[in-house]
Structure formats: structure tokens, C-alpha cells
Amino acid sequence: MKILQLVPYFLPYNGGQERYVYNLSKHLIEMGHEVHVITSNYPKCRRYEIIDGITVKRYTCLFRPLRNPITPGLLTIEKKIKDYDVVHTHNEHSFAAMVAAYFRKKINIPLILTCHGQLRFGKDLADWFERFYSRTIGKKILRRADSIVALSPSDAKYISSFGVSRDKIHILPNAIDIKTLSVKNNNNRDFVERYNLTKPIILFVGPVIRRKGIQYLLKAIFTLWKEKHKEATFLIVGDGDYLEKAKSFVTKHKLEKFVRFTGRISQEELIQSYKVADIFVLPSLSEGLPTTILEAMYLGLPVIATDIPGVKDHFKDAAILIPPRDEKSLAEAIIKLINNPDLRKKLSRIGRELVVRKYTWKKVAKGYEKLYENLIK
């Protein structure tokens, strides 16, 4: 098959959805298919290149309202779309998905849409706009797609609430590429010394933005500091538009001794961060199925996350789940794990077994292959 992935971002933009598209495309190529990616040129990089067998074409991004790259050049690709067997777009909130839905009305090529969770920004106005969008433009995109992939049963139920037939909604989870996490590394001590880390180490990995709940993690750290729990180091890996505010919060409340910011790091350093850590936290307001939780569990970390759709469907028996926007519960969960090594070991074992059993790209890519074949037929 010749498959087009029409997406808002792609590598080197490094987020969960981008890694999802990359890993899916790479595994489809290994299975004998041809995969092209058409996307925005954000951040600015090569307009055309081949990445691990994936042909990538990028068009200029004019601006990014709510981090959604508006890329008018995508409207010129009608002739190119006709060359493919199937078009696969991601994230019904994206301009790329709008373009894919527009061309689906004009061109008789099957369109599959993967929804990456229920979107929340953590800001009242932005969240109101998302609800309005979902009931109008988002609903039209969902109905125009020939097949929709949800990452969890909760997301499938949410999608069907817009009048979408349940028969065309399929549940395929996120996954990880175990090979990329199996790199042997003997420099963990250097990593610990570089960031001046002391045990126990509490790790956050992801974009440093409000939607990931970073503001509540910082408040939880301050709560622990006020209550004299000062034995942990918090390692925050990633960058984003909330990073400077996060650093200011740490400085204002004199938490520099307990918090380290790495910014964006390499894949090798990312694996090191997981390996040196003792606990992983992800206090997000909305998620699809977080890659970082899968990575943390596979590498043996007990996980604390929020009780939200996309997380509870998959991890309710393998992690400690707390209410979103609740820094007190987050602080209590962290202390609970720090003080209970037996519980840490139990969650570590359950989490790794779960990921190996259900969440590898080899299994998920086969599910997509079957879905593509059925659409073409």
C-alpha cells in the first residue's frame, strides 16, 4: 500500500503525536508499505527529506493559534493525494485534519482519522473555544472520515456522542518501540552528577505546558517543602511555553535545591532520566494514551498520573491515579510511594508486564494494516 500521513507536525518537532506518527510509519515500512508524510515546516527545517525510509514533505506554517499550525500550502496537494491508497490524518483539532476532510469530499480515497484524546488547555477561554469547535468543525471532520481510531474506550464513547456511528470507531492504543528503549548505557552516574541529583528522584517528562499539569506539580512540590518533606529531587524533562513561568515559580519559592530543569534532551539522555529516577509523575489535564507513561512503565518506574480518560482506561490497575488539578493529592501520592518501597516494586512489576503484553508497535501497526486493507476493499 501507498499511505499518506497528513499531520500538523512531524520530527524534529518532538511530542507524543509526532512520535506516534513516526513509529507507526516506520513499522508500516518494515511491513513492506510505502509511507509519505506531509506536514508543516515548524520548526523550520528541511522542506524535503527521507527519515528512516519515511518520505517527508513540509509546507510553510504561517502562525499557530493554540499551537495549531496553519499551513495553507496543504490546500495545494489535491493532485498528490490521488496517488495514494489511503489518507491517514491525526487530531481532529488540527488544520491538517480540516484539509484532509475537505479533500475527502472531493476525492474518492479512504480517510482514516486518529483522535489523540479529549483536548483540554487548562485555560477557561481556550477550553470554551475547544468545546465550541468540537460541536461544529470537529463534528464535521469526524463524520467525514471513513474510519476513526480512538486510543481508549472512553475516547470512543466521547466520539460517538457527536453522532458518529460506533461501527466506524476502532480502538487501537498508543505503543512504544522497545528497541529504542533497550539501549545499554553505562553513563547514568554522569547524568546524575550533571544535574546534581539526589535520591529519591521524581521524574516528569513532556512538554512544559499547562495541559500537562506542570503548574500543579510545582504546587505539590511547594506543599511538600512547607511540610518539611525535603528528601526528594524533582527532575523536569522537556521544554514549552510554560517553562519560564515554572522556573520563576521555583525561584520565587526558593525550591532550586529540589527542582532541576533539563530542557529538551537527546534520546540517550531521556533513557538515562528514566533509569536514574525512582518515581514517574504525569499530572495532565487531558491525554490520549501517554507515550511517557508507557516508557516509564517499561523501564520499571512506578507511576502517578491523573484519573482522566485515556489514562484510567489503560492504567487504573497499574498506577496511582489522583484527581486532576489537585496538588494536595499529588503530594500525598508522592510521599506514599517514597515511604513504601514494596508498593513501588509492585507497581513497577505490574506496569512493565502490562506494556510488554499490550502496548508495542509491532502489535499496533498490524492493527492499522488490517484497518487500511478493509477500507480499501
CA pair distance 313, 317, nearest whole angstrom: 9
What is the per-residue pLDDT for 294?
96
Q: Is a pLDDT exceeding 80 seen at residue 225?
A: yes
- Whether 187 and 169 share a structural domain: no
pLDDT tens-digit series, residues 38-63? 999 999 999 999 999 999 999 999 99
Q: Is a pLDDT exceeding 90 seen at residue 250?
A: yes
- Whether 129 and 147 share a structural domain: yes
pLDDT tens-digit series, residues 95-132? 999 999 999 999 999 999 999 987 777 777 888 888 88
- Whether 229 and 126 share a structural domain: no
- The pTM of the whole model exceeds 0.85: no
Percent of residues, the chain, with pLDDT higher than 70: 99
Computed over every residue of the chain, the mean pLDDT equals: 93
- Whether 260 and 132 share a structural domain: no
Q: What is the mean pLDDT of residues 292-304?
A: 97
Is residue 233 within 8 A of residue 224, CB to CB? The reply is: no
pLDDT tens-digit series, residues 149-206? 999 998 999 999 999 999 999 999 999 988 888 766 667 888 999 999 999 999 999 9
- Whether 76 and 164 share a structural domain: yes
Number of domains the chain contains: 2
Amino acid at 314: H
What is the per-residue pLDDT for 245?
97
Instruction: Indicate left, alpha or beta for 326 from its phi (over 0: left) and psi (-120 to 50: alpha).
Output: beta
Q: Which pLDDT band holds residue 239 (cuts at 50, 70, 90)? A: very high
Three-point CA angle 197, 295, 268, nearest 5°: 55
Cis amide prior to 43 (ω within 30 degrees): yes
Strand, helix or coil at 305? strand
- Whether 9 and 142 share a structural domain: yes
Residue by residue, DSSP assigns 1-28 as: -EEEEE-S--TTS-SHHHHHHHHHHHHH
Q: Which pLDDT band holds residue 288 (cuts at 50, 70, 90)? A: confident
Q: Is a pLDDT exceeding 90 seen at residue 14?
A: no
CATH number, domain at 154? 3.40.50.2000
Three cell numbers, residue 303: 507511576
- Whether 257 and 316 share a structural domain: yes
Specify the residue for cell string 518515581: 279
**Mutual angle of helices 214-226 and 327-338, in 10-degree steps:** 60
Going across the sheet that includes 54-59, the strands are 48-51, 54-59, 34-40, 2-6, 86-90, 111-115, 147-150, 169-171
- Whether 33 and 160 share a structural domain: yes
Q: What is the mean pLDDT of residues 360-369?
A: 94
DSSP state of 135: I
What is the per-residue pLDDT for 172?
95
Residue-number span of the structural domain to which 89 is assigned? 2-175+360-376
Is residue 373 within 8 A of residue 367, CB to CB? The reply is: no
Task: For residue 256, count CB atoms less than 10 angstroms from its CB and return exposed for 0-12, middle for 13-18, buried for 19 or more.
Answer: exposed
- Whether 372 and 297 share a structural domain: no
- Whether 114 and 202 share a structural domain: no
Specify the residue for cell string 477550553: 127
- Whether 140 and 206 share a structural domain: no
Q: Is a pLDDT exceeding 70 seen at residue 240?
A: yes
> Buried b vs exposed e over 324-361: b needs ≥16 C-beta within 10 Å?
bebbebbbbbbbebbeeeeebeebbebbbebbeeebbb
- Whether 348 and 253 share a structural domain: yes
CA pair distance 96, 71, nearest whole angstrom: 8
Amino acid at 54: I
